[in-house]
Amino acid sequence: MLLFLGTFFICLFIFIMQFLWRYVDELVGKGLALNVLSEFFFYATLTLVPTALPLAILLATLMTFGNFGERYELLAIKAAGISLLRVMTGWRLGFVAGPEWLAKANNKLQGQYTSGPSSITQKAAETAFSGDQTPVEEMRKAFERRRNLVLGLIKEIPGLECNVPDGAFYVFPKCDSYFGKSFGDRKIGNSADLAMYLLEEGHVACVGGVAFGAPDCIRLSYATSDENLVEAIKRIKQALANLK
């Protein structure tokens, strides 16, 4: 019975795709309907094809009809930057690798947001990828040391919980235990309030986690010296202790 239903749904899905292809073929060829189709494939396969084997059969069939294999490759892009890959915090240079039509579309969109990276930044990125990689490893070790230092100090602060990040140069300690507490007439209602409180009372800059999808956390960067990190966490600990 399960085999029959699986075969039925696969055939039904292929029929639907062939029917739709007649109307979107030209749009797909121009790169205008790829997002719609990719979303359709994603939800349809999750709904109609819940097991690995029928999914493999389905994809193999779709690759056969309508030259879909070549078109589906257009959906693959890679986006990266030098901030994390080459430990160049603050340089703000990213790139994408993908179809030419998509790269041109990115240029048009990005051109409305920024003026573009400077020539100095571009040459620095080129050297970062093609030059000696020894400094990259040195900085990786430095950031690993700083991460461990910050995590160790945060563990000493009551009410803060923090996961161990595998990379990057910041941590997201969970701070919701301080929500609802006050310092004088000042009440902490969320992570943004806490970040502003730490800035104004502890003189330590951090960011609320709402913008990063972590509303119960604050974001702390450890892209600075060990001495600065020790002093910063010390101030945070004292400021949090003043909340009642």
pLDDT digits (tens, 9 = 90+) for 95-151: 777 778 877 887 777 776 666 677 888 888 888 888 898 988 998 899 999 999 999
Distance of alpha carbon 136 from alpha carbon 138, whole angstroms: 5
- The dihedrals phi and psi of 80, each to the nearest 5 degrees, come to -155, 180
Q: Are 94 and 79 in contact (CB under 8 A)?
A: yes
- DSSP 8-state secondary structure symbol assigned to residue 43: H
Look at residues 1, 4, 24, 22 and name the one whose alpha carbon lies nearest to residue 12.
4
Structural domains of the chain in order of their starting residue, each with its CATH number:
2-73 (no CATH), 78-130 (no CATH), 135-241 (3.90.1150.10)
Confidence of residue 227 (pLDDT cuts 50, 70, 90): very high
Q: How far apart are CA 121 and CA 235, in angstroms?
A: 35
AA letter at 97: A
Name the DSSP class of 217: B
123 CB-side CA count, 13 A: 3
pLDDT at 15 over 70: no
Beta strands in the chain (DSSP E): 78-81, 94-97, 170-171, 182-183, 186-187, 207-208, 218-221
Which residues does residue 9 pair with via DSSP β-bridges, in sequence order?
Answer: none
C-alpha distances in Å from residue 185, one per residue of 45, 109, 239: 55, 45, 15
| Distance (Å, whole) CA 203 – CA 177 | 21
pLDDT at 36 over 70: no
Q: Would the pLDDT of 178 be above 60?
A: yes
Taking alpha carbons only, the member of 178, 133, 186 closest to residue 157 is 178
**Of 139 and 87, more confident:** 139
| Residues with Cβ within 8 Å of residue 38, at least 6 apart in sequence | 75
What is the pTM for the complete model shown? 0.56
**For residue 178, what are the CA distances in angstroms to 55, 104, 201?**
47, 47, 15
